[in-house]
Structure 1
Amino acid sequence: MDMTAEDHTERLRRLKSQARFEGGPEQIVARRRRGAGSARERVVRLLDSHSFVELDVFIKGAVTGHGKIDGRDVYVFSEDAETLPGAAGEMFVRKMAKIVDLAMKNGAPLVGLYDSGRARGGAGAGSSAARADLYFRNVMASGLIPQIAAVMGPCTGSAAYSPALADFTIMVKGAGQVFLSDPALEEGGGDAEAGLEQLGGARTHSERSGLAHLAADDETDCLDMIRRLLSYLPQNNLEDPPRTDLFDPADRTDEELERLSAADVDASHDVRAVLERVLDEGEFLELVPEWAKNVVIGFARLGGRPLGVVANQRGYLDGRLDVDGAAKAARFVRFCDAFNLPLLTLVDTPGFAAGKEQEHAGIVREASKLVYAFCEATVPKLTLVIGRAYGEGFDAMCSKYARADFNFAWPAAEIGAGAPQGILDRQDSRSPFEAALSGHLDDVIEPAETRPRLIAALGACASKREGRPPKKHGNIPL
């Protein structure tokens, strides 16, 4: 019997409903007990209400499509660990790769919600090849569109590469895991889940390896972090970051900065206290806060313009740069340069951490990486010396000779080839006024006027155009 148009439509609805089936009552209860959502629920909660348009619904293993976050287009895929790949093991990965292609072609950010399960690492040659095809697309998208990875479940073996290739990786505590090695080969007894967490959980990667930029308390927190992070980023490398209305007066001064600047040079204070009084509304989205604490990085706004911040933190290692701190800052600087985000650098460092351990770990290579990143960057670059700027430390922190556009210092700052040997040395030869006379600075400014001076400088170079010699690519000391 021939089917009518209504029959075809009804069949389509039935097949899509079956394809979207997300487990029986037991699976749903188990997810709720873990505080986890299904692959589709995660996408719907991430995007603006009623904005999700799903693609390739009949291919199981992942939920993919496009939608909006704060009214801006975004492409998304969400792995479904509860769906066994079977014969479709290759197709579900190609389904995700297709979304990456669409994101690149249309110039919109890509968000990947990862939950691969532990069984997919050995899914066969076809699936492995498809995974490699996904990695290739991650690399092609790098520097073209922002890529955010949210690890909400295990990503083991070959599945670990894709979230690590994203620009930013967010992991859910107690659920997200990333590791290459087989945990069965790890020595030691005890609780298996605790062992997996120690091997590659959110705390491990946010505090010890530096892989995770943020660690979320739960899935809701993770999705909120994604939305907040995207609010600072442009759609692609050809667009400027989204400006916002300015409610914090651009001419606001703050006398508390006078007190902070007058603190004894040997005292420890939190550089975030300075940022809080300079940035719009005092808001600062810090990244990788628990790893390499001697360097603070993150996003903020100044005069309504998003920008990246790099700052020395005197409270850790006396603000000295080390292997991890230099690597942390360098990668962030390169991201900002790729996506047209101006850079604000706050300098307060006596130089680099010394000793055989640091030298053997590659401090020269990592320091060179940071120098390379700042020199390579062509976005507007503002540098403010708020404390010490000695020798190699000053060179690495975006000095005038790394082509910073505006270099300022507070009057109590110290700038020189090395740490001062006495009070006269501190007050005279390392004076910022000497540095200004020598052309190392553009001005010495009053601390209370830091915000209006930085906003004016940022506005003055907002339309900056600066080229570099044509080449295939540089050879950064990785």
Structure 2
Amino acid sequence: MTQNAVTTVHDAAPAGPRDVLLQRRAERAVRVEPRGRREHTARERAEMLLDAGTFVEMTPMRSSGGAGSGVVAGWGLVEGRPVVVASHDAAVASGAIGPVLAEGVMKAQRLAIERGYPIVYVNDSGGARIHDGIFALHGCGGIFKLNVEAQQVVPQISVIVGPCAGAAAYSPALTDWTIMVREQGHMFLTGPEIVRAATGEDATAEAIGGADMHAIESGVAHLAVDSEAEALDAARRLLSFLPSHKGGAQNVQDARPADEVAAQALPHLVPEKSSIVFDMHELLDGVLDAGDRLELMPDHGRSMLTVLGRLDGRPVGVVANQPAARGGILDAISAVKAARFVEFCSRFGLPVVTFVDVPGFLPGTVEERRGVITHGAKMLKAYAEATSPVLTVVVRKAYGGAYIAMGASSLGADASWAWASSEIAVMGPGGAVALLHRRALQASDDPAELRDRLAAEYRENVARPYLAAEAGIVDDVILPEETRSTMVETLRMLTHEAGHRG
């Protein structure tokens, strides 16, 4: 045998175990090009969410028919704190959920629940895998069950970066917050083809389940952003305000003073006339710590603000009427929005800070048919059941049942205050006078003058906040510039410096 022949035989020898493993890893590391408008692979998304170099994949060799499991699941760190992630791999059967993919997601869910770590789902799935029949449905059901189990243990965030169709859409609906990428993420139970076949309606995926539709109209999504990077950054920001698990230490950071210009403007922010609007965000600027804030559901139920921010370094959930949108009125949509937010904050120990400027509940047949009674009651229930500190400030007006629904002391608020110029009553002076003095006004030679005089008397004798303070219904009447210091001192007492600074 010649030397060349010996070399040939040697080169053809089987690779050793080390070479096989390295080859397998190299194959997994090959970048699979995203489909369509998708910007990144499943692994890249997981790595973008987490601190650089911290992602550890679970069961990376798990496979379905030699094509991978359909999900990249594992754990890593976000701002140094452990987080579990399950990222659908659209390169495997379009991310459709079969039994192997479901097992991967459930393994991640169990880890999050057992260890008390938040979990982020990056959804890019066409739904249950048709070829797997009952096995696919069984797997979906297992994911849903663990979604529900996790609700009472850890924060869950869904990021929709592609289709989220059919059975796959239920999992995000069972998580706490959903972030969607515009013109790329879609959520619906039935897609355009099925809708067209069943109803004859010719609608696009964007119209049926696009990010803006869900973020503005349905309320299924809570943030809509323009790119995958923005969506994953929003998830990181959201996590920064939350504890790792129910009962866990709050992520308290060094306190920062409120914006100086906004704080100085507080005494002049609220117009004297209740019919003139102002932007409640300017009040938040003057009271909360300066720095990062995250508004959830900003385009849905816009007369209500639900914001994550910090007060004295401590994460808080802010509920506030927004006079700049429909006068800050409560309706069925804004009531559900507020109730959901208060319940979430309470579940994870975030103090609820409420700023009230509410003319009442929106009247009319449309709202009654929407079930405003039931939805308003959800708000009452959320505040009444809240176990985290609740601080409430009446900023301008608080009328009728809407006053109670906005975290009144009768629902268990730990502390409540009213600004000196505020009004608290069953209804506004104008409406009260029209109802109480109808005959006198009809008989008056100058009804406008009489109405103004009676309204002023009602405002002074019935609606002024001193009556509530003297009765102990609010703790004190304060000036706008005293709001931050009063709330900070009270919050320190209620939380007894619990949590950690980091």
Is TM more than 0.5 here? yes
Work out whether residues 379 and 405 of structure 2, in 8 Å CA contact, stay in contact via their aligned partners in 1: yes
Q: Does 1:300 align with 2:303?
A: no
The 5-angstrom pairing of residues 92-131 of structure 1 reads 92-117=101-126, 120=129, 123-131=132-140
- Whether 2:471 is the aligned partner of 1:430: answer no
33, 42, 45: which one aligns with 2:45: 42
Counterpart CA distance in 2 for 1:148 and 1:386 is 33
Counterpart CA distance in 1 for 2:429 and 2:423 is 9
Measure the CA separation in 2 of the matches of 1:182 and 1:99: 28
Query: Equivalent residues in 2 for 1:206-221 (5 A)?
Result: 206-221=215-230
Give 3-state SS (helix, strand or coil) of 1:351's partner: coil
Corresponding residue of 1:156: 165
Match of 2:179 among 158, 165, 170: 170
Is the Cα–Cα contact under 8 Å of residues 57 and 63 in structure 1 kept in the other structure?
yes
1:369 and 2:378 are equivalent in the alignment: yes
- In 1, Cα distance between the equivalents of 2:492 and 2:146? 36
Of the candidates 302, 321, 327, which is equivalent to residue 318 of structure 1? 327
1:232 and 2:241 are equivalent in the alignment: yes
2:480 aligned partner? 447
Distance 1:118 1:442 in 2: 53
Determine helix, strand or coil for the equivalent of 1:45.
helix
What TM-score do you get using the length of structure 1 for normalisation?
0.90
Contact 1:103 1:110 in 2 (8 A): yes
Greater Cα shift, 85-94 or 63-72 = 85-94
11-20 or 242-251, larger mean C-alpha shift: 242-251
Alpha-carbon distance in 2 for matches of 1:279, 1:88? 43
CA RMSD of aligned residues (A): 2.5
Which digits, 9 at most, give the CA deviation of each residue in 1:80-107, with x for residues without a partner?
A: 1121279992111111111000011011
1:314 CA displacement: 1.5
Contact kept, 8 Å, 1:261 with 1:447, in 2: the verdict is no
Stretch deviating more after TM superposition (137-146 or 280-289): 280-289
Tell me which moved more, 245-254 or 11-20: 245-254
Confirm or deny: 8 A CA contact 1:253 1:449 kept in the other structure: no
Give the whole-Å Cα distance in 2 for the aligned partners of 1:8 and 1:88: 32
**Structure 1 contact 206–291 (Cα < 8 Å) conserved:** yes
CA contact (8 A) 1:345 1:397 kept: yes
Secondary structure of 2:402 counterpart: helix
User: For 2:90 and 2:262, how far apart are their aligned partners in 1?
Assistant: 53
Residue among 87, 99, 107 paired with 1:90:
99
In the alignment, what sits opposite 2:278?
269
Contact 2:316 2:353 in 1 (8 A): yes
Query: Which residue of 2 is the match for residue 330 of structure 1?
Result: 339
* SS of residue in 2 equivalent to 1:36: coil
Amino acid at match of 1:456: E
Q: Deviation digits for residues 347-383 of structure 1, max 9, x if unmatched?
A: 1112101111111110000011100000000111100
Alignment check: 8 A CA contact 2:157 2:177 kept: yes
- Aligned partner (choices 388, 392, 397) of residue 406 of structure 2: 397
Give distance in 1, aligned partners of 2:320 and 2:397.
12
> Which 5+ residue runs of structure 2 have no aligned equivalent?
1-12, 63-67, 431-454
Where in structure 1 are there 5+ consecutive unaligned residues? 466-478
Between the two proteins, the alignment pairs up a number of residues equal to 454
- Cα distance between partner residues in 1 of 2:256 and 2:286: 14
Q: More deviation in 427-436 or 295-304? A: 427-436
TM-score by length of 2: 0.86
Structure label with greater radius of gyration: 2
Residues 413-439 of structure 1 deviation map (CA, whole Å, 9 limit, x = unaligned): 100111113122223310011111122
Structure 1 residue corresponding to 2:214, chosen from 195, 205, 209: 205
1:249-273 superposed Cα distances (whole Å, 9 cap, x missing partner) = 7999933111013442110111111
CA contact (8 A) 1:66 1:75 kept: yes
- Contact kept? 1:261, 1:412, Cα under 8 Å: no
Contact 2:303 2:329 in 1 (8 A): yes
**One-letter identity of the residue aligned with 2:323:** R
How far residue 405 of structure 1 moved from its aligned partner, in angstroms, is 0.7
User: Match of 1:17?
Assistant: 26
Structure 1 residues 292, 159: CA separation in 2 closer, same or farther (over 3 Å shift)? Answer: same
CA distance in 1 between counterparts of 2:327 and 2:112 reads 43
Deviation at 1:123, TM superposition (A): 4.6
2:53 alignment partner AA: H
Q: Give CA-to-partner distance per residue, 1:93-132, whole Å, 9 cap, x none.
A: 1111110000110111001100003674675211111011
| 1:383 maps to 2:392 | yes
> Residue 357 of structure 2 contacts residue 396 of structure 2 at CA under 8 Å; is this kept in 1?
yes
More off after superposition, 170-179 vs 117-126: 117-126
Cα distance, 1:282 vs structure 2: 5.6
